[in-house]
Amino acid sequence: MNSTSQQTAATPLQLRKILLPTDFSGCANFAVAYAAAIARAAKAKIICIYVLEPMVPAVGYTGLADPMPIADISEQLEDSAERELPQIVHCEELHGLDVEEVITHGDAAAEIVRVAAEREVDLIVISSHGRTGLGRMIFGSTAEAVVRHARCPVLVVKPPADEEENGER
């Protein structure tokens, strides 16, 4: 081993930026504590991201009232995200950390991977709902797609077993 290889091997892992995706679910909140602990230890910045996914119109709507235009629904969701995201960013676990809020539009997994690359993130800390079988086949797995496509390491946080049993998937 030459001296250059030894220097490279001895260089500690540097985490400067951690991406923390959220969908405001109870399950997503389990990842906050992990991201906060890692950020404190590494003195890293947290980028908390929420992705507004495209609205798909319901085919064959048979409700009594006229359906709300998709643009109005999207606007309401964005307004809701703008209210919810600061609550996570200013939660007790993230207190005192450098935290940035990001709201994007598109496919959740693709946007998480894109923002991670664009912001040169060193680690993604994402929760998994832990769906298996039919649920996973129907809904897919954002965490799995992020793991497959991200250029940086991804820490997938699963909810505690007792939360999974109580339906917090």
Extract the runs of DSSP E, i.e. beta strands, from 106-164.
123-127, 154-157
pTM reported for the whole predicted model: 0.73
pLDDT digits (tens, 9 = 90+) for 35-71: 999 999 999 999 999 998 876 555 555 555 555 555 5
pLDDT of residue 48: 94
pLDDT of residue 92: 84
All structural domains of the chain: 13-55+64-165 (3.40.50.620)
pLDDT of residue 24: 80
Output 25 or 88, whichever has higher pLDDT: 25
pLDDT of residue 138: 45
pLDDT digits (tens, 9 = 90+) for 114-164: 999 999 999 999 998 765 555 444 445 899 999 999 999 999 998 877 655
* Residues counted in the chain: 169
- Residue 158 neighbours by CB under 8 Å, 6+ apart: 30, 127, 128, 130, 164
**What strands, in cross-sheet order, belong to the sheet with 99-105?**
99-105, 45-52, 17-21, 123-127, 154-157
Q: In degrees, to the nearest 5, what angle opens at C-alpha 129 toward C-alphas 128 and 135?
A: 125
